[in-house]
């Protein structure tokens, strides 16, 4: 189930601490970064502290495991090709 949260301190507290995949979106609603993590709330908080990945809202998909989160992330990367996700 995909959920959308605005980038505010109050709404970030509502993000679950479960594994999952996420999309960071700009003011126009375009995905600028896609990721996966074991703890959605903590990871999105980390992005918020990093000014280089500023975003207006986040779309999350909680998953039962990090493995499933990686599968969701892979699909999203293929479909969206976010500009902040660059291969090293």
- Helix/strand/coil for 37: strand
Q: How far apart are CA 3 and CA 88, in angstroms?
A: 30
The pLDDT score that the predictor gives to residue 88 is 52
- Helix/strand/coil for 50: coil
Determine which helix (DSSP H) or strand (DSSP E) holds 79, and give its type and residue range: helix 66-80
Q: Is 24 left (phi over 0), alpha (psi -120 to 50) or beta?
A: beta
* pLDDT tens per residue, range 30-68: 999 999 999 999 999 888 776 555 788 999 999 999 999
Q: What is the pTM for the complete model shown?
A: 0.89
Q: How far apart are CA 75 and CA 14, in angstroms?
A: 25
């Amino acid at each position: 189930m995909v959920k959308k949260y605005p980038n505010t301190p109050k709404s970030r507290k509502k993000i679950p601490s479960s594994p999952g995949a996420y999309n960071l979106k700009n003011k126009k609603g375009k995905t600028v970064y896609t990721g996966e993590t074991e703890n959605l709330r903590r990871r999105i908080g980390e992005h918020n502290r990093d000014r280089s990945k500023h975003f207006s809202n986040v779309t999350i998909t909680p998953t039962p495991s990090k493995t499933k989160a990686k599968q969701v992330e892979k699909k999203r990367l293929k479909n969206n090709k976010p500009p902040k996700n660059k291969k090293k």
